[in-house]
Amino acid sequence: MTNLALRKAFAQAARPIAAIGAVGGFIGDIIQPLGNFAVWIAGLSLIIAAIALAWMIALRRRRGQEVWDTLAVGLFVIAIGSFVIFTAWSFIFAIGPERGYLAENIEPIGQIQAQLLGLQQDVTEIKETTEVTATRVAESSDLQKTQATRQAEGVSIQAAAATAQAKGFADLQSQFANLQKGSLVDNPQTPQEWYSNARLYQLKGDTANAIRAYEGYFQYGLDFVDPYLEYSDLLKATEGIARARAQVDAYYNANKTSPTLDLVSARLLDNAADRSARYNALAARAPQFGPVFYELGAEYSRALGASATADLLKKQGVAYTTLFALEKDAQGYTRYFIDKASAEKNLADAQKTFDALANARRVTGKVDALMYQYNDGMQFIVLLAESGVKKILFDIDNPQPTRETGMVSVTGTPNLTIGKIPLPVGKHTLYLQYIDANDTPSAVFEKEFNVRQVFATWNQQPADFSTNTFSGAFLAGVTGAAFDDLFTWRWSIDSDALDQSQLGAGMFSIQAKGLQAGDHVLYLQATSQDGSKKYAVEKIPFVVK
């Protein structure tokens, strides 16, 4: 009876299992670019099967309850079947093409995939940007005409190219605004018509025709950036980055003077360092081309996510500052875009990123050192405001530091303590440099200090709130003296009376009480015990906080 009921349960579940497997396989293949979801469905099916099994056990324990004809058994059988099917699908998808079998081999399915996964821009978003663009056509046209007049004077080769760019700018933006009408041009004859068709095909999810329309637009050699960006993104999403790189490089190799093609070609490079090098080279040869500074700033922003170094913060700040200045002076960014609303959004995002890191730029990369004098040498504690530093170099009185501070073996970080280093009495300069997380050397920092014959270091103690005064101690010493040498110490605070004295060693502690907050001076003199050496009075300023 049990076997018959079990066979009946499997027979009833066969159809829904088959349907789940077929539909799930089709959907999973379509959304393959987003990830292998079959693994997750298989896992969920296993969890449901475990819950159904527990339900079956609970039902069986109830007296008089028939288990094999219950919903629990049906759910268990379907879940087990789903687990088996989607486990198989997960292996199939894992070894299959990146876009899935169906989209890779059937063009209509590929177009459906493009629409579902956002390979073309959303209709509402494009319409919104076209409305904004349409309102700016008149003022943009006036500005472009002014720039064209200046460029016609022959300022540079790039200015002459920009003149051709400005010609027909208003027409292109007007045609872009007319995308709202949704009408394709059957036989496009102008760059405006080709571009309009390309965007409309994108709206419809017809990526193949959109790509062909962009290629029709490119024959006119205009240097607007966004058509090439949209074209390369479409190719990358539908045919892979290798195909996108080959097509864009073909256009670039045919017109090496185009800053737009140089930019879009560099943008498709795999290696971040290679992209940055190309962008910097382009910025050097086309310093008025705003889009390259936008891409440079974005590149440095991505690098900052991995290692927030002062070098990267500085480079990002320079790139964005140049971008904003070019846009303010002559629309040096937005005039290279047909879709001005999209360009202005990019600028707004860049400004937010720049502002968010303003404080980090002020702080990161700062270097200082605390200095402590002892009778047997100077000690320095390096203060860094940057993490991930690989190495610290230092030297005394040498502006090109080469001596390493060493590493702390426990933490694997550079040693921040230098010395003790015996130095002659007089003025000296400490030079510091560090190597950041990206192996970039910092600037060389310097700090002057004075090695005194007789010295004292002030260490303040907490305030006495009953008297509102402060106390503390001076660690005094004689440079070059042994620790067991004896001296007669004489001192006074804020006067040269030297009215306090005591016999002490080459390193000696002097207590001070009842001091008010503010600037003070310690007058200090040391005389050897036998009187053979009497050092000059030192005036040592200190601050009570």
* pLDDT (average), residues 151-174: 46
pLDDT computed for residue 35 by the predictor? 56
DSSP symbols for 381-407: EEEES-SS--EEEEEES-SS--EE--E
CATH 3.40.190.10 fits 123-360, yes or no: no
The three-state DSSP-derived secondary structure of 74-138 is HHHHHHHHHHHHHHHHHHHHHHCCCCCHHHHHCHHHHHHHHHHCCCCCCHHHHHHHHHHHHHCHH
pLDDT, tens digit (0-9, with 9 covering 90-100), for 48-57: 888 877 777 7
More confident: 359 or 251:
251
pLDDT computed for residue 319 by the predictor? 97
Whether 365-451 and 454-544 share one fold: the answer is yes
Among residues 269, 261, 239, 8, the alpha carbon closest in space to that of 107 is found at 239
CATH class of the domain comprising 454-544: mainly beta
Among residues 76, 46, 43, the alpha carbon closest in space to that of 59 is found at 76
- Whether pLDDT at 371 is above 50: yes
Q: Which CATH number is associated with domain 365-451? A: 2.60.40.10
Query: Hey, how many other C-beta atoms are within 10 angstroms of the C-beta on 271?
Result: 8
pLDDT computed for residue 138 by the predictor? 41
- Max mean pLDDT among 114-123, 166-175, 447-456 falls in 447-456
Rounded Cα–Cα distance for residues 244 and 33 (Å): 17
- Whether pLDDT at 303 is above 80: yes
Sign of CA dihedral 191, 197, 202, 208: negative
pLDDT computed for residue 460 by the predictor? 94
Rounded Cα–Cα distance for residues 452 and 522 (Å): 13
* pLDDT (average), residues 235-258: 94
Q: How confident is the model at residue 176 (pLDDT cuts 50, 70, 90)?
A: low
**Helix/strand/coil percentages in the chain, nearest 5:** 55, 20, 25
Among the ranges given (66-80, 85-99, 399-413), the one the predictor scored with the smallest mean pLDDT = 85-99
Query: Hey, how many other C-beta atoms are within 10 angstroms of the C-beta on 393?
Result: 19
pLDDT, tens digit (0-9, with 9 covering 90-100), for 261-295: 999 999 999 999 999 999 999 999 999 999 999 99
More confident: 137 or 13:
13
* pLDDT (average), residues 168-175: 55
- Whether pLDDT at 357 is above 70: yes
Give the chain's mean pLDDT.
Answer: 82
Left if phi > 0, otherwise alpha if psi is -120 to 50, otherwise beta: which for 443? beta
pLDDT computed for residue 118 by the predictor? 47
pLDDT, tens digit (0-9, with 9 covering 90-100), for 470-529: 999 999 999 999 988 999 999 999 999 999 999 999 999 999 999 999 999 999 999 999
pLDDT, tens digit (0-9, with 9 covering 90-100), for 98-144: 556 565 666 566 566 555 554 444 444 444 454 444 444 444 444 44
CA 314 vs CA 5, 221, 360, 460, 526: distances in Å: 75, 35, 10, 38, 50
Three-state secondary-structure class, residue 277: helix
Domain boundaries, the chain: 2-116, 123-360, 365-451, 454-544
pLDDT computed for residue 82 by the predictor? 78
pLDDT computed for residue 172 by the predictor? 60
* pLDDT (average), residues 457-462: 93
| pTM for the structure as a whole | 0.60
Q: Which helix (H) or strand (E) holds 454?
A: strand 454-460
- Whether pLDDT at 32 is above 80: no
